[in-house]
């Protein structure tokens, strides 16, 4: 029989504390506080979603979602540090310093409350705003592994969908009919890939079939929401694996159409992208910061270069100018799929336009590159290109070395006839000081 993730009955399998591995040590003190207070006030209070799943997998959850039968207003009445957010569906955010615990009231699922749920022509949910019971709440969740409820009353886990079995088998199974669930919300396709990469789970064959049928529906998702999802896909520390899965399931072409085309044709670009993804994952693993502008720049690099050549043939301009113009056009195309904020596209375009300047290693204009506000990112980008043979190794080495050199050494490296500005000023100052002390 096909496993469609449908609950076997409306009563959950209850796994007592002694029979599962979710320990309170893994739950943040703030989340426990919220759960206990709701419970003491007579409400049901559960942890749900990724935190329960990750705790079961020993992945040390970082954010905690609470589900309750208290309405948002009732939640607010219990906590001073509570704010209600969301218009379509109200959620309570309870703040503890920098940590926010999100509390959601049980909600009825799409198919269970047809009167109150509006769908568009493709079946996408455009409105769902009915409170429900826990028995209804499970239906709106995406994957069975995300629909496990940890009950603070006795520390048991309530499992309506065989989520625990799927976690043990490491399988991503959609609750209900996969085709319907992906049409309701095409972002679930991206979530499937993200969880498969992060958790090392296999995507259920029925989900894969439905995904392949519905990839194009991603184009209907608001571009701002896709950007949020893009960040989760590529900044969670599993970018390389996520990327492979996105490509395998033809989802990447929906997100970055121009990039996908270049990847199909250009092996060195494929190598460059892989190197960038690996680099990004190792930065995340080392606790270093990552900026989305760098990876977006990497993705748009090959299409930008190609278009720049065309623009330069049409009109007289420098290579930098043509890259800047081409990246502007590609960003504009890209915005239809993913709304990339300007605070990322502007530095990204600067980073790309600076690339030709690295080949210039003699003279005043060359040395000035070191002072450019985008030097660091542009240098990292160039270094990555040299790693895969797209930039001469000697050039990369030159720019690495000059960064550590003294002013005088630098002047020699760049073969400046007159000493650089800083040096001259210093000497003049020294001369003046000497003059005043002498008189």
Q: How far is the CB of 49 from Mg ion (least distance, A)?
A: 5
Category of 123 on φ-ψ map: left (φ > 0), alpha (ψ -120 to 50) or beta: left
Only segment of 44-52, 111-119, 158-166, 176-184 that touches Mg ion (CB under 5 A): 44-52
* Spatial contact of 14 and 157, defined as CB atoms under 8 Å apart: yes
- Give the long-range contacts of residues 406-410, CB within 8 A, separation 24 or more: 410/367, 410/370
Contact 297, 331 (CB under 8 A): no
Phi-psi region of 188 (alpha: psi -120 to 50; beta: other; left: phi over 0): alpha
Told to judge if 154 belongs to the known catalytic residues of this protein, a careful annotator would answer no
- x-marked contacts with Mg ion along 4-43 as a string, rule CB under 5 A: ----------------------------------------
Q: Which one is catalytic: 63, 177, 206, 380?
A: 63
* 3 state SS of 108: coil
Choose which of 185, 260, 262, 281 interacts with ligand ATP (CB under 6 A): 185
In terms of CB distance, is 194 or 337 closer to Mg ion? 194
- The alpha carbon dihedral of 170, 175, 179, 185 has a sign of negative
Binds 240: which of ligand ATP, Mg ion, none (CB < 5-8 Å by kind): none
Respond yes or no: is residue 392 known to be catalytic: no
Q: Check binding of 50 to Mg ion (CB under 5 A).
A: yes
Tokens of 8: 């076997």
Which among 234, 33, 258, 57 is positioned nearest to 152, based on CA atoms?
33
First to last CA, the chain: 101
Nearest to 349 by CA among 384, 386, 300: 300
Decide whether 232 or 426 has the Cβ nearer to ligand ATP: 232
Is residue 61 a contact residue for Mg ion (CB under 5 A)? Answer: no
Closer to ligand ATP by Cβ: residue 140 or 349: 140
394 a catalytic residue: no
Handedness of CA 48, 49, 50, 54 (dihedral sign): positive
Window 139-178: contact mask with ligand ATP (x via CB under 6 A): -xxx---xx-------------------------------
Closest residue to ligand ATP using C-beta atoms: 50
Q: Cβ closer to ligand ATP: 186 or 297?
A: 186
Q: Is 49 in the site for ligand ATP (CB under 6 A)?
A: yes
Q: What sign for the dihedral angle of Cα 225, 31, 66, 188? A: positive
CB 94 to ligand ATP: min, Å: 16
User: Judged by CB, which is closer to ligand ATP: 65, or 260?
Assistant: 65
> Which residues are tagged catalytic?
63, 65, 142
């Amino acid at each position: 029989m096909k496993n469609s993730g449908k609950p076997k009955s409306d009563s959950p399998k209850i796994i007592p504390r002694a029979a599962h591995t979710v320990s309170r040590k893994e739950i943040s003190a703030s989340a426990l506080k919220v759960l206990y207070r709701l419970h003491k006030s007579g409400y049901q209070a559960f942890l749900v979603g990724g935190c329960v799943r990750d705790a079961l997998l020993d992945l040390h959850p970082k954010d905690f979602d609470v589900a309750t039968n208290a309405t948002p207003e009732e939640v607010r009445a219990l906590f001073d540090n509570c704010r209600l957010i969301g218009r379509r569906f109200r959620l309570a955010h309870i703040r503890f310093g920098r940590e926010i615990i999100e509390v959601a009231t049980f909600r009825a699922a799409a198919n269970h409350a047809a009167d109150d749920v509006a769908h568009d022509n493709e079946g996408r949910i455009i409105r769902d705003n009915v409170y429900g019971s826990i028995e209804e709440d499970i239906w709106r969740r995406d994957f069975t592994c995300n629909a496990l409820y940890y009950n603070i009353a006795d520390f048991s886990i309530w499992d309506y969908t065989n989520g625990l079995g799927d976690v043990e088998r490491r399988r991503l199974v959609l609750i209900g009919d996969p085709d319907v669930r992906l049409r309701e919300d095409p972002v679930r396709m991206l979530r499937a890939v993200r969880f498969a990469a992060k958790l090392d789970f296999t995507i259920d064959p029925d989900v894969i079939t439905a995904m392949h049928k519905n990839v194009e529906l991603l184009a209907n998702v608001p571009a701002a929401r896709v950007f949020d999802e893009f960040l989760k896909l590529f900044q969670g520390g599993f970018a390389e694996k996520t990327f492979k899965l996105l490509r395998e399931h033809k989802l990447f072409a929906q997100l970055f159409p121009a990039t996908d085309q270049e990847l199909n044709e250009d092996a060195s670009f494929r190598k460059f992208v892989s190197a960038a993804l690996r680099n990004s994952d190792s930065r995340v693993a080392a606790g270093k910061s990552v900026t989305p502008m760098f990876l977006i720049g990497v993705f748009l690099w090959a299409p930008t270069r190609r278009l720049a050549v065309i623009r330069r043939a049409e009109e007289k301009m420098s290579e930098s100018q043509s890259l800047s113009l081409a990246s502007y056009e590609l960003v504009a195309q890209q915005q239809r799929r993913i709304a990339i904020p300007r605070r990322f596209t502007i530095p990204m375009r600067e980073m790309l336009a600076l690339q030709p300047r690295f080949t210039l290693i003699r003279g005043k204009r060359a040395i000035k590159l070191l002072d450019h506000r985008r030097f660091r990112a542009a240098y990292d980008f160039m270094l990555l290109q040299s790693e895969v043979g797209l930039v001469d190794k000697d050039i990369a080495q030159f720019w690495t070395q000059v960064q550590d050199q003294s002013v005088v050494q630098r002047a020699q490296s760049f073969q400046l006839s007159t000493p650089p500005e800083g040096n001259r000023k210093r000497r003049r100052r020294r001369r003046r000081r000497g003059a005043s002390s002498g008189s």
